[in-house]
């Protein structure tokens, strides 16, 4: 299993709304709103950032990964592009040159839903600064392979 460094959105107003939006768009997700900063098996977080207090995150605009890809096997990911001044040096990942900080809203196969969601999200004004709870730092979590989770879900659905 991979170890990942994430920054949870730890405020009392926007974080719960982002969690609700994610749960409405992808009910099977158990993911809390966060920025994925680094996967440790690919690129570790320098020690000086492990306990660095992060004061705010800026929600910049909605965007997508995979939506323009005509492959039916790739996921259609809709996210909110973010900026984080205190972690800016960690945003670039050499293995993923187009990588940027973001909060995933939908990560699924339905391109029609993803396009409709993106259209709705683009109607709102963005560039929102979220002041995070005091003493917010990166959190290290272990994530399971998506394939294992989906295979287990499919097995449960076929035996029900």
Sequence length of the chain is 160
Query: Do residues 102 and 81 lie in contact, with contact meaning Cβ atoms separated by under 8 Å?
Result: yes
Using CA atoms, how far residue 91 sits from 35, 73, 87, in Å, is 10, 27, 7
Task: Indicate the CATH number for domain 2-159.
Answer: 3.90.1140
| Dist. CA 25–CA 23, nearest whole Å | 6
**Which H/E stretch holds residue 37?**
strand 34-39
Domain residue spans of the chain = 2-159
Inter-residue contact 25 to 110 (CB < 8 Å): no
From first to last of its 160 residues, what are the pLDDT tens digits of the chain?
Answer: 778 889 999 899 999 999 999 999 999 988 899 998 877 666 677 888 888 999 999 999 999 987 765 555 578 899 999 999 999 888 876 666 667 899 999 999 899 999 999 999 999 999 999 999 999 999 988 887 655 444 333 333 333 3
| Predicted TM-score of the model (pTM) | 0.80
Distance CA 129, CA 110 (A): 30
Tokens of 88: 């800016």
């Amino acid at each position: 299993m991979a170890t990942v460094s994430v920054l949870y959105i730890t405020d009392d107003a926007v974080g719960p709304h982002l969690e609700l939006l994610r749960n409405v768009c992808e009910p099977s997700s158990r993911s809390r709103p966060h920025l994925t900063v680094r996967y440790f098996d690919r690129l570790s977080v320098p020690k000086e950032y492990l306990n660095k207090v992060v004061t705010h995150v800026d929600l910049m605009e909605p965007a997508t990964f995979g939506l323009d890809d005509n492959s039916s096997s790739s996921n259609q990911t809709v996210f909110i592009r973010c900026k984080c001044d205190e972690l800016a040096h960690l945003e670039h990942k050499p293995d993923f040159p187009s990588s940027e900080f973001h909060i995933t809203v939908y990560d699924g196969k339905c391109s029609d839903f993803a396009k409709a969601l993106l259209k709705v999200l683009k109607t709102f004004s963005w560039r929102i600064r979220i002041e995070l709870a005091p003493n917010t730092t990166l959190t290290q979590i272990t994530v399971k392979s998506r394939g294992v989770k989906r295979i287990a879900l499919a097995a449960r659905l076929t035996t029900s």
